[in-house]
């Protein structure tokens, strides 16, 4: 009976410690399943889900012998996932403010910082968020909305913005118009 009395507090203590640890860990994965209902209304849907296991496989597909592919391999090192959902519609008003709020509410969580915010009546809204873990970027999210489109890009894991430009157009990631700095252009020429 005494053994049971010692185990209960120990188990309770372990549960509390584990819960606190899990709660304090920041997760850069955005939950996008709330947008799945939009696929039925969309004229075009893109759904990319590349987890860490598939990223490791993808790394092997790019050659170290080709400079462009070598750069892509460098970007993929350390990433935990690449997730994209994009919907294009024939008519306006298919995306509700509640759909957008489902994503934005997650991006207001601890550690997330909005790096870019563009609002345009012509081109829609474009926001780029970074999940900061100290001085390190632990994830990235891009949200683009306009009258006939909704796109969410989520890169999970450490992100080097200078190297990220190499992923544009790969794995369903749209052109984010990330331009290397002058310093990195000089390094690319070497």
Quick one: which of 129, 133, 125 has its CA closest to 113? 129
Q: Is the backbone of residue 149 left (phi > 0), alpha (psi -120 to 50) or beta?
A: beta
Residue 14: which residues within 8 A CB-CB, separation 6 or more?
A: none
Rg (CA), the chain: 20
Q: What angle (nearest 5°) sits at the alpha carbon of residue 92, between those of residues 88 and 169?
A: 25
Any domain includes 128? yes
Average pLDDT over residues 159-171: 65
Domain total in the chain: 1
Could you count the other beta carbons within 10 Å of the beta carbon of residue 109? 13
| 19-62 tens-digit pLDDT | 333 333 357 899 999 999 999 999 999 999 999 999 998 888 88
Any domain includes 103? yes
pLDDT for 179 beyond 80: no
pLDDT for 7 beyond 60: no
Any domain includes 61? yes
Q: Which residue has the tokens 């185990």?
A: 7
Could you count the other beta carbons within 10 Å of the beta carbon of residue 5? 9
DSSP assigned state of 109: S
Query: What whole-number distance in Å separates Cα of residue 47 and Cα of residue 87?
Result: 9
Any domain includes 19? no
Quick one: which of 54, 88, 62, 75 has its CA closest to 168? 75
| 96-150 tens-digit pLDDT | 999 999 999 999 999 999 988 989 888 889 999 999 988 888 999 999 999 999 9
pLDDT the model gives residue 84 = 94
Which pair of structure tokens corresponds to residue 190? 């070497």
Four-point Cα dihedral 26, 29, 31, 33, nearest 10: -160
pLDDT for 13 beyond 50: no
Any domain includes 12? no
Any domain includes 20? no
Could you count the other beta carbons within 10 Å of the beta carbon of residue 76? 23
| 16-30 tens-digit pLDDT | 433 333 333 357 899
Quick one: which of 87, 180, 90, 177 has its CA closest to 126? 177
pLDDT the model gives residue 128 = 92
More confident of the two residues 187 and 160: 160
pLDDT the model gives residue 2 = 46
Any domain includes 15? no
- Residue 158 domain boundaries: 29-189
């Amino acid at each position: 009976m005494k053994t049971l009395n010692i185990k209960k507090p120990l188990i309770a203590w372990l549960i509390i410690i584990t819960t606190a640890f899990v709660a304090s860990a920041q997760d850069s994965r955005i939950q996008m399943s709330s947008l799945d209902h939009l696929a039925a209304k969309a004229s075009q849907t893109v759904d990319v889900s590349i987890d860490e296991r598939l990223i490791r496989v993808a790394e092997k597909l790019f050659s170290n012998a080709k400079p462009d592919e070598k750069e892509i391999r460098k970007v993929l090192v350390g990433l935990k996932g690449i997730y994209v959902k994009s919907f294009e519609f024939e008519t306006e008003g298919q995306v509700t403010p509640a759909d957008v709020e489902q994503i934005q509410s997650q991006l207001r969580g601890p550690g997330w910082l909005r790096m870019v915010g563009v609002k345009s009546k012509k081109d829609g809204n474009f926001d780029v968020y970074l999940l900061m873990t100290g001085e390190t970027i632990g994830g990235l999210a891009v949200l683009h909305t306009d009258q006939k489109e909704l796109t969410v890009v989520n890169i999970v894991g450490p992100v080097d913005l200078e190297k990220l430009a190499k992923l544009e157009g790969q794995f369903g990631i749209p052109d984010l118009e990330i331009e290397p700095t002058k310093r990195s252009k000089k390094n690319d020429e070497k």
